[in-house]
A and B are shown apart, each in its own frame.
Chain A
Amino acid sequence: MPRPGSAGDPLWYKRAVIYELPVKSFYDANGDGIGDFPGLLEKLDYIEALGVTCLWLLPFFPSPLRDDGYDISDYCNVHPSYGTLDDFRRFLDAAHERRLQVVIELVLNHTSDQHPWFQRARRAPAGSVERDYYVWSDAEDRYRDARIIFTDSERSNWTWDPVAQAYFWHRFFHHQPDLNYDNPTVLQEVLRVIDFWLDLGVDGFRLDAVPYLIEREGTRCENLPETHAVLKAVRRHVQARVPRGMLLAEANQWPADVRAYFADGDECQMAYHFPLMPRMFMGLHLEDRHPIVEIMQQTPAIPETCQWALFLRNHDELTLEMVTDEERDYMHLAYSADAQARINLGIRRRLAPLVGNNRRRIELRNSLLFSLPGTPILYYGDEIGMGDNTYLGDRNGVRTPMQWTGDRNADFSRADPARLYSPVIMDPIYGYRGINVEAQERDASSLLQWMRNLIGLRKLFPAFGSGSLEFLEPANRKILAYVLRYGPDAILCVANLSRSVQPVELSLSALVGLTPVEILGYTDFPVVSEQPYFLTLGPYGFYWFELQRRDV
């Protein structure tokens, strides 16, 4: 029987704070060097204390692990390295007991070439239903307008299969054949997978690589109407089974194109705002609000029941697909002068190293993440300022073991260090001996404590997740200022993007008579009048003001 969903609020995802983590990296309970579900269960108290409300788990399904689990060979099971289905059930129940929602991956676009569907397809007669689970061609000349996404490793979107004696289509790695959604049986199979996990009680799915589900000649094979039709069918199915089930679209596209994934509120409830992320970094490096304001002003309105997913960093590279060539050059010069940090079109670094381990810059970026309209996603380890290892290949350098203590293996695992799925970070700046949860829990001024407080504040004011956004335009472009409104509530956010003290005069004529109360310290500021509102902000400083009407 399906469960009704663990969240009481049907729009829970709008008020959520999401924590993204790979099970393999979090905590190893059985000492084999790989994180697992029993380990994750043991660490739920930590996650609960952090204050996040939703977990997004990276793929944990059986897989040859040639793309960190995004190459799935069995959709309805748990990779033995991470535990069993019963372990997953126990974890899920424990998470729900703590009022944590759980979102898992649904890799719709492709499977592993080891998946039984593909093994069957390559041996099935051409034109059969089984063969048509995937997209085949006798030549490489179909869909030539589709770009290659993994430019560092793939030369074509077609790969020859000697068993099938045909080329198969893949938008990502050559060992990840794309499913063929022109075959209705494929969608039925996927819906069965969805039912399996919904019946276990998961609260939503992150839909991986959704723009690429359908191919049509003469197009870029992205964002096609037929793709949206598939997604709407998925939504209808989820809605009927678990009305509060949430779909989060991974569509690395411009906002105008991503808008279509919300449709009329009948497709995905959430989608990432990919172009905002690099512009938050760009704006802070330029010490100019323009990149942030510009992209937000280009962002179309979305239905009331929908929400943007915002992030600073995640398990992938800091992707620079949604920037101009000039902007990309700037970002590489600013944030990856070391070519080792570059991969594909992006930068494979965590948050703290990207900003030179500057605490104020980390705080300022998080203040933007937690106040711009959308649901923030926090990548595991960034709450303690973990570093990375760009020499580990692919994007593995940002997927190293969670640093719990200064003990062996950062207390991630009791295994011999050589057995760990990945070495822990050991450099003198970000190494686990200095950067770890235990130390930061004991330090009242640590980044971890700061993040806990910020998350708590974010949850206190619905305007952060659900409010409307209005940018102010002070003359000083180093200052980013905006007002969030939600019902009678109004919040004024002011951020200094520069490394030096900055003055600003804000025109707050629409807010005359209100008292700004600084949210972090609950301190009253002077009442807003017709005169420009003068503030001074320290380097990388920010204020959040709750605007209170005192005469009521």
Chain B
Amino acid sequence: MSDAAPATADIVVGLVAHQDAENIGVVAKAARQGLDGHCAGLAGRVVLVDTGFGEDSAARAREALGDDGDVLETSTARTPADLLDLPYHGIPGKARALSAILARARELGARACVVLDAGVVSVEPQWVEWLTRPIIAHDFDLVSAYYYRHPYEGALTKGLVYPLVRALYGARLRQPAAAEFACSARLLDRLLDEDLWEREGAHAGIDLWLATAAASGDFRLAEAALGVRTGRARGEAPLGLGTTVTQVVGALFGDLGSRVERWQRVRGSVPVQQFGEPPDAAPAPGGSVDPERLIEQFRLGYRELRDLWTWVLPPRTIVDLARLIDVPVSGFRLEDELWARIVYDFALGYRLRVLARDHLLRSLVPLYLGWLASFVLQVRDLGPADVDLRVERLCAAFEAQKPYLISKWRWPERLRT
């Protein structure tokens, strides 16, 4: 930090880097251009947090910015767990990194703090404006990125994370675990005071938890449409679906217990305001998805895991699932209400530890694949708007079934009944 650099900032842009030396220059430049060109009149600072894996991301960032000396660097200590338990988003120690960025933003008295993943390739300078304007000009507290995705992309979010977060907290935040987001000074104060940074599962769940913390507090939420997001692979083999489900759904379920006073009092949901610009490019086609293969995995799961599911799911659900076993592919439908109740029963099973949580979550995977097959069969011939409508119907089912979750949560004796 140069002597001339101001001790305060209106906007802080935090870059979270992990093995991103190749790409961080692009993101740093975009951040600087975004601050200079799209946030006129506001003092901005770039804060870089490298999660500490030996690459000199900071030097690359400085190089990209022309060494203007206006990059604050913060490093976070690496822990052995970071190496053993790679999170689905690919950034070990991300909770500590985000905490460090928010803390720096508070120190600098920032009115808004933007977080960008240093591995995002499709970053544009306008992102800084789109993420911060709702806060600076319209008093919003959390602005979550909304990316334009192929119908099959982000299926776990569409089929479980979004409907569940929406039903629980009443906010229609469509991508609540987005890597890019911005928060107000008021929200970052609250977030820093929340007991979530060191919580078990924070390495994978922190993005989600920031959103649920905001949604369960007295904060105003918005979305910024940032177009299509592409990110670079960080050199690790992609995690298996089982691990991703375990991490994402486990983080979500684990969060429920600490926010019960809020979500059990929420009925219905309200849209969040949209900012940003509509995408000018179609998302890249996703990989081909073969519903028949998914259904086969569901059927295999039913055969292998049915006894285990009976620990969590009531007889009616097991019977409903059994009916799907012999249904031809073309007629395979896992109804929204059934899927919602399955998710809720797994949330209860997780809470009550009816079996080891990791096993419980992994046993959800075949059921999720069954839902995914059903979803793909229903949307494969639809346009984006109709896909959105289909997801809306699913969300409505989650909302309608919420009393099922609450009544069982309050009186767990009713689990499996």
A146 within 8 A of B: no
Residues of A within 8 A of B267 (CB): 548, 550
| Residue interface mask B17-34, A partner, CB < 8 A = 1 | 000000000000000000
Cβ-closest chain A residue relative to B406: A522
Contact of A521 (CB < 8 Å), options: B260, B261, B411, B412:
B411
Which residues 396-417 of B sit at the A interface, judged by CB distance below 8 A? Answer: 403, 406-407, 410-413
Tell whether, in the assembled complex, residue B260 and residue A444 are in contact, meaning their CB atoms are under 8 Å apart. Answer: no
Tell whether, in the assembled complex, residue B413 and residue A522 are in contact, meaning their CB atoms are under 8 Å apart. Answer: no
Instruction: Tell me how far the C-beta of A266 lies from the nearest C-beta in chain B, rounded to whole angstroms.
Output: 29
How far, in whole Å, are A453 and B413 apart by their CA atoms in the complex?
9
B264 within 8 A of A: yes
A460 within 8 A of B: yes
Cβ-closest chain B residue relative to A523: B407
How far, in whole Å, are A449 and B411 apart by their CA atoms in the complex?
9
Q: Which of A519, A520, A522, A523 has the most chain B CB within a 10 Å cutoff? A: A522
Tell whether, in the assembled complex, residue A453 and residue B412 are in contact, meaning their CB atoms are under 8 Å apart. Answer: yes
A456 within 8 A of B: yes
Number of chain B residues close to chain A: CB under 8 A: 11
Contact of B403 (CB < 8 Å), options: A444, A449, A522:
A522
Tell whether, in the assembled complex, residue B413 and residue A445 are in contact, meaning their CB atoms are under 8 Å apart. Answer: yes
How far, in whole Å, are A548 and B267 apart by their CA atoms in the complex?
10
A506 within 8 A of B: no
Residues of A within 8 A of B407 (CB): 521-523
Instruction: Tell me how far the C-beta of B266 lies from the nearest C-beta in chain A, rounded to whole angstroms.
Output: 11
Contact of B411 (CB < 8 Å), options: A453, A459, A460:
A453
Contact of A460 (CB < 8 Å), options: B260, B412, B413:
B260
Tell whether, in the assembled complex, residue B410 and residue A456 are in contact, meaning their CB atoms are under 8 Å apart. Answer: yes
Residues of B within 8 A of A522 (CB): 403, 406-407, 410
A44 within 8 A of B: no
A322 within 8 A of B: no
Tell whether, in the assembled complex, residue B410 and residue A520 are in contact, meaning their CB atoms are under 8 Å apart. Answer: yes
| Residue interface mask A504-546, B partner, CB < 8 A = 1 | 0000000000000001111100000000000000000000000
Tell whether, in the assembled complex, residue B410 and residue A449 are in contact, meaning their CB atoms are under 8 Å apart. Answer: no
Residues of B within 8 A of A521 (CB): 407, 410-411
> Given contacts A548-B267, A550-B267, are A457 and B413 in contact (CB under 8 A)?
no
| Residue interface mask A440-462, B partner, CB < 8 A = 1 | 00001100010001001101100
Number of chain A residues close to chain B: CB under 8 A: 15
Cβ-closest chain A residue relative to B260: A460
Tell whether, in the assembled complex, residue B413 and residue A520 are in contact, meaning their CB atoms are under 8 Å apart. Answer: no
Cβ-closest chain B residue relative to A459: B261
How far, in whole Å, are A85 and B413 apart by their CA atoms in the complex?
40
Cβ-closest chain B residue relative to A444: B413
Instruction: Tell me how far the C-beta of A480 lies from the nearest C-beta in chain B, rounded to whole angstroms.
Output: 23
How far, in whole Å, are A550 and B266 apart by their CA atoms in the complex?
11
| Residue interface mask B80-104, A partner, CB < 8 A = 1 | 0000000000000000000000000
| Residue interface mask A450-490, B partner, CB < 8 A = 1 | 00010011011000000000000000000000000000000
Contact of B410 (CB < 8 Å), options: A519, A548, A550:
A519
Tell whether, in the assembled complex, residue A460 and residue B403 are in contact, meaning their CB atoms are under 8 Å apart. Answer: no
How far, in whole Å, are A550 and B410 apart by their CA atoms in the complex?
21
How far, in whole Å, are A159 and B267 apart by their CA atoms in the complex?
67
Residues of B within 8 A of A445 (CB): 413
How far, in whole Å, are A520 and B403 apart by their CA atoms in the complex?
11
Residues of B within 8 A of A550 (CB): 267
Instruction: Tell me how far the C-beta of A54 lies from the nearest C-beta in chain B, rounded to whole angstroms.
Output: 18
Residues of A within 8 A of B413 (CB): 444-445, 449, 453
How far, in whole Å, are A303 and B45 apart by their CA atoms in the complex?
48
Residues of A within 8 A of B403 (CB): 522-523
Residues of A within 8 A of B260 (CB): 460
How far, in whole Å, are A440 and B267 apart by their CA atoms in the complex?
34
Which residues 253-272 of B sit at the A interface, judged by CB distance below 8 A? Answer: 260-261, 264, 267
Cβ-closest chain A residue relative to B193: A8
Which residues 184-240 of B sit at the A interface, judged by CB distance below 8 A? Answer: none
How far, in whole Å, are A329 and B382 apart by their CA atoms in the complex?
80
Which residues 288-315 of A sit at the B interface, judged by CB distance below 8 A? Answer: none
Contact of B264 (CB < 8 Å), options: A453, A460, A520:
A460
Instruction: Tell me how far the C-beta of A486 lies from the nearest C-beta in chain B, rounded to whole angstroms.
Output: 12
How far, in whole Å, are A63 and B407 apart by their CA atoms in the complex?
49
Residues of B within 8 A of A449 (CB): 412-413
Cβ-closest chain A residue relative to B402: A522
Residues of A within 8 A of B261 (CB): 459-460
Instruction: Tell me how far the C-beta of A452 lies from the nearest C-beta in chain B, rounded to whole angstroms.
Output: 8
Residues of B within 8 A of A456 (CB): 410
How far, in whole Å, are A457 and B264 apart by their CA atoms in the complex?
11
Residues of A within 8 A of B412 (CB): 444, 449, 453
How far, in whole Å, are A523 and B260 apart by their CA atoms in the complex?
18
Which residues 232-262 of A sit at the B interface, judged by CB distance below 8 A? Answer: none
Instruction: Tell me how far the C-beta of B313 lies from the nearest C-beta in chain A, rounded to whole angstroms.
Output: 16
How far, in whole Å, are A456 and B352 apart by their CA atoms in the complex?
13
How far, in whole Å, are A307 and B406 apart by their CA atoms in the complex?
29
How far, in whole Å, are A453 and B267 apart by their CA atoms in the complex?
22
Residues of B within 8 A of A548 (CB): 267
How far, in whole Å, are A453 and B406 apart by their CA atoms in the complex?
12
Residues of A within 8 A of B264 (CB): 460
Instruction: Tell me how far the C-beta of B401 lies from the nearest C-beta in chain A, rounded to whole angstroms.
Output: 12
Cβ-closest chain B residue relative to A521: B407
Cβ-closest chain A residue relative to B415: A444
How far, in whole Å, are A19 and B402 apart by their CA atoms in the complex?
32
| Residue interface mask B356-373, A partner, CB < 8 A = 1 | 000000000000000000
Instruction: Tell me how far the C-beta of A525 lies from the nearest C-beta in chain B, rounded to whole angstroms.
Output: 13
How far, in whole Å, are A459 and B257 apart by their CA atoms in the complex?
12
How far, in whole Å, are A459 and B261 apart by their CA atoms in the complex?
8
Instruction: Tell me how far the C-beta of B261 lies from the nearest C-beta in chain A, rounded to whole angstroms.
Output: 6
Instruction: Tell me how far the C-beta of A235 lies from the nearest C-beta in chain B, rounded to whole angstroms.
Output: 28
Residues of A within 8 A of B410 (CB): 453, 456-457, 460, 519-522
Instruction: Tell me how far the C-beta of A418 lies from the nearest C-beta in chain B, rounded to whole angstroms.
Output: 39
How far, in whole Å, are A548 and B411 apart by their CA atoms in the complex?
20
Cβ-closest chain A residue relative to B405: A522
How far, in whole Å, are A548 and B413 apart by their CA atoms in the complex?
25
Q: Which of B260, B261, B410 has the most chain A CB within a 10 Å cutoff? A: B410
Residues of B within 8 A of A460 (CB): 260-261, 264, 410
How far, in whole Å, are A172 and B221 apart by their CA atoms in the complex?
62
Cβ-closest chain B residue relative to A453: B411
| Residue interface mask A205-248, B partner, CB < 8 A = 1 | 00000000000000000000000000000000000000000000
How far, in whole Å, are A389 and B77 apart by their CA atoms in the complex?
59
How far, in whole Å, are A489 and B264 apart by their CA atoms in the complex?
13
Instruction: Tell me how far the C-beta of A522 lies from the nearest C-beta in chain B, rounded to whole angstroms.
Output: 4
Instruction: Tell me how far the C-beta of B218 lies from the nearest C-beta in chain A, rounded to whole angstroms.
Output: 13
How far, in whole Å, are A550 and B413 apart by their CA atoms in the complex?
28
How far, in whole Å, are A124 and B328 apart by their CA atoms in the complex?
98
| Residue interface mask A47-72, B partner, CB < 8 A = 1 | 00000000000000000000000000
How far, in whole Å, are A456 and B351 apart by their CA atoms in the complex?
13
Instruction: Tell me how far the C-beta of A147 lies from the nearest C-beta in chain B, rounded to whole angstroms.
Output: 46
Instruction: Tell me how far the C-beta of A75 lies from the nearest C-beta in chain B, rounded to whole angstroms.
Output: 34
How far, in whole Å, are A520 and B412 apart by their CA atoms in the complex?
10
How far, in whole Å, are A521 and B267 apart by their CA atoms in the complex?
16
Q: Which of A445, A521, A550 has the most chain B CB within a 10 Å cutoff? A: A521
Residues of A within 8 A of B406 (CB): 522
Instruction: Tell me how far the C-beta of A463 lies from the nearest C-beta in chain B, rounded to whole angstroms.
Output: 11
Enumerate chain A interface residues (CB-CB to B < 8 A): 444-445, 449, 453, 456-457, 459-460, 519-523, 548, 550
In the assembled complex, 8 residue pairs joining A and B whose CB atoms fall closer than 8 Å, in A order, are A449-B412, A456-B410, A460-B410, A520-B410, A522-B403, A522-B406, A548-B267, A550-B267
Known: A445-B413, A459-B261. 14 other contacts (CB 8 A): A449-B412, A453-B411, A453-B412, A457-B410, A460-B264, A460-B410, A519-B410, A520-B411, A521-B407, A522-B403, A522-B407, A523-B403, A548-B267, A550-B267
Enumerate chain B interface residues (CB-CB to A < 8 A): 260-261, 264, 267, 403, 406-407, 410-413
The 8 closest A-B pairs by CB, nearest first: A522-B407, A522-B406, A444-B413, A522-B403, A521-B407, A453-B411, A460-B261, A520-B411
